[in-house]
Amino acid sequence: MSEMSPKEFKHILVGVDDSDDAQLAFRYAINRAKSDGAKLTIVSILEQDNMNVYEAMSKDFVHGQRKDLEEHVQQYQKLARDFGVAEVNAVVDEGDPGETIVKTVIPALKPDLLVIGSVAKHGVRKYFGSQAAYMAKHAPISVLVIR
């Protein structure tokens, strides 16, 4: 009988926001990317539904939020590089997190593993629970939900 070794991944996609679960997911992803010698892409989605109509109409507000998110993701990128992951990319997009990751980000980047936390930043456990469930159900690749 051949030795049973776990699947090695070549390109890991990790979804981050500022929740504790996302940080756990990120820590798992950088360890896994390092041990598999995989490429790592860090993705964060600017959610429009968290904005009120005036904020959504204000380009300055959206631009400011997006800039904050991009800086946040760049900090994650630096952490991953410092940890020893050779190839680290970052993507910031806008929309519904689950749908955007499944329908736009995954087809564009073709990762073979998605790592996500199970809770959202605004304490709407139910909401992101459903986001994680949506991604786990609809993503065309392996999905690991970290709690």
What average pLDDT is seen over the chain? 87
- pLDDT, residue 114, reads 97
Q: Characterize 35-52 residue by residue with b for buried, 16 or more Cβ atoms within 10 angstroms of its Cβ, and e for exposed.
A: ebebbbbbbbbbbeeeee
Spans of the chain below 50 pLDDT:
121, 123-125
**CATH match of 11-146 with 3.40.50.2300:** no
